[in-house]
Chain A
Amino acid sequence: GENVEQHPSTLSVQEGDSAVIKCTYSDSASNYFPWYKQELGKRPQLIIDIRSNVGEKKDQRIAVTLNKTAKHFSLHITETQPEDSAVYFCAASIWSSASKIIFGSGTRLSIRP
């Protein structure tokens, strides 16, 4: 089955700098890659997602890149702000009528003022 690895497990960046979180997946059939942000005690919130027919997607300060050949995908957050502090999960799935999302282990991002 699918396995998703995520690095780093913790990341601390200065406010205003960029943060990058990287994930790899094992199943070449995976074709959907969401990223979730989870604040303490709250639900996972979908922040951006990308499908395998696209190499890059951007939404304001957040961008995701996908390298299907290498089975890598990454989350980029630019101009980080204190409210970006949270745990971020990457995930992968194979689209079907009921998709099963396989989550990475998470990255705890801290923004230093």
Chain B
Amino acid sequence: DAMVIQNPRYQVTQFGKPVTLSCSQTLNHNVMYWYQQKSSQAPKLLFHYYDKDFNNEADTPDNFQSRRPNTSFCFLDIRSPGLGDAAMYLCATSTPSQGERQFFGPGTRLTVL
């Protein structure tokens, strides 16, 4: 089945230790998004790619970076995780032919010790 996959589902890292979260999609969608969702809050957009074009949200900390080596994969790199970065990280995709609908992956829950 076509889908959005996130690995790992649960990630534990230490304070200050770089971590990478992975998202892949079999939908062949042009756009991939990364959201951060903290407990009892709405998802917050960090950045998105339209094909290879990177779009950063103005309030996304420099500590967060992203890479999209090809259509299928997108990575979220957290260079120096702090305790405040513990959250669920959601990847989503969309494509112009399906309008504005975004399809979410299952998320990666990040714990920072």
Residues on the B chain within 8 Å of A34, using CB = 100-102
CB pair B96–A103 under 8 Å, yes or no, is no
- Among A89, A93, A97, the one with the most B-chain Cβ atoms within 10 Å of its Cβ is A97
Q: Given the complex of chains A and B, what is the CA–CA distance between A106 and B44 in angstroms?
A: 12
Q: Given the complex of chains A and B, what is the CA–CA distance between A101 and B94 in angstroms?
A: 11
Closest to A90 in B: B42
Q: Provide the B76-110 mask, 1 if CB < 8 A to any CB of A, else 0.
A: 00000000000000100010100111111111010
Closest to A31 in B: B100
B interface, CB within 8 angstroms of A: 30-31, 40-43, 45, 48, 50, 55, 90, 94, 96, 99-107, 109
Q: Provide the A25-47 mask, 1 if CB < 8 A to any CB of B, else 0.
A: 00000001010000001111110
CB pair A43–B104 under 8 Å, yes or no, is yes
CB pair A89–B101 under 8 Å, yes or no, is no
A106-B94 in contact given A43-B106, A46-B101, A97-B50 (Cβ < 8 Å)? no
From DSSP, what is the main secondary structure of chain A's interface residues?
A: loop
CB pair B99–A95 under 8 Å, yes or no, is yes
Residues on the A chain within 8 Å of B42, using CB = 89, 103-106
A49-B104 in contact given A98-B48, A103-B43 (Cβ < 8 Å)? no
CB pair B31–A49 under 8 Å, yes or no, is no
CB pair A99–B100 under 8 Å, yes or no, is yes
A45 to chain B, nearest CB (A): 8
CB pair A93–B106 under 8 Å, yes or no, is no
Q: Given the complex of chains A and B, what is the CA–CA distance between A43 and B94 in angstroms?
A: 15
CB pair B94–A99 under 8 Å, yes or no, is yes
Residues on the B chain within 8 Å of A49, using CB = 100-101
Interface CB pairs A-B, < 8 A, 7? A32-B99, A32-B100, A41-B109, A44-B90, A97-B96, A103-B43, A106-B42
CB pair B90–A43 under 8 Å, yes or no, is yes
Q: Given the complex of chains A and B, what is the CA–CA distance between A99 and B33 in angstroms?
A: 10
**Interface residue A57 (Cβ < 8 Å from any Cβ of B):** no
CB pair B31–A98 under 8 Å, yes or no, is yes
Residues on the B chain within 8 Å of A112, using CB = none
Q: Given the complex of chains A and B, what is the CA–CA distance between A13 and B109 in angstroms?
A: 30
